[in-house]
């Protein structure tokens, strides 16, 4: 089980390929606030709902100085299909080795339909302008999470 991040922890650095295969680094966003969210699989109902919610609220989040990056173990090709099918505007990156998912505490044991399984733990980490964790939310719900996050951030 990977360790969960706490407010004040340094956000683990990453460089991962986006839906076009271009590298995206947390360092590219230095000096800006970033919402990094982790989801199990593109093109599934819950993950689609969550990605669409982030896309629908992107102008509000960007206006408050936040950028949004979604991370999953899916291939860049699958992320490209997901983005095109759902007209997503958030940056989606691929972590097939699950190294970043683990570094952020978003991969490990979870309960799914009453069974304990190992997989992606739906999580959201807000990183501040200094590259530190402002808040880390684990086992979030796909539906309603973005609205709750916006309320919690006072936007």
Known catalytic residues are 47
* Residue 103, CA atoms < 13 Å, CB-side half-sphere: 15
Contact call for residues 21 and 92 (beta carbons, < 8 A): no
Q: Pairing state of beta strands 33-38 and 66-72?
A: parallel
What b-and-e string marks burial along 100-118, b requiring 16 or more CB atoms within 10 Å of the CB? bbbbbbbbbebeeeeeeee
Place of tokens 């989801």: 39
């Amino acid at each position: 089980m990977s360790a969960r991040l706490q407010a004040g922890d340094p956000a683990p650095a990453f460089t991962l390929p986006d839906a076009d295969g271009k590298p995206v680094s947390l360092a590219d966003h230095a000096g800006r606030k970033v919402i990094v969210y982790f989801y199990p699989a593109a093109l599934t109902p819950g993950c689609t709902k969550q990605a669409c919610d982030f896309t629908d609220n992107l102008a509000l989040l960007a206006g408050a100085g936040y950028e949004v990056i979604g991370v999953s173990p899916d291939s860049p090709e699958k992320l490209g299909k997901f983005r095109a099918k759902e007209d997503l505007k958030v940056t989606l990156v691929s972590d097939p080795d699950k190294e970043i998912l683990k570094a952020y505490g978003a991969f490990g044991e979870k309960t799914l339909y009453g069974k304990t399984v190992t997989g992606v733990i739906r999580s959201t980490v807000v990183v501040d302008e200094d590259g530190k964790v402002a808040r880390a939310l684990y086992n979030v719900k796909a539906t309603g999470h973005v609205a709750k996050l916006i309320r919690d951030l006072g936007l």
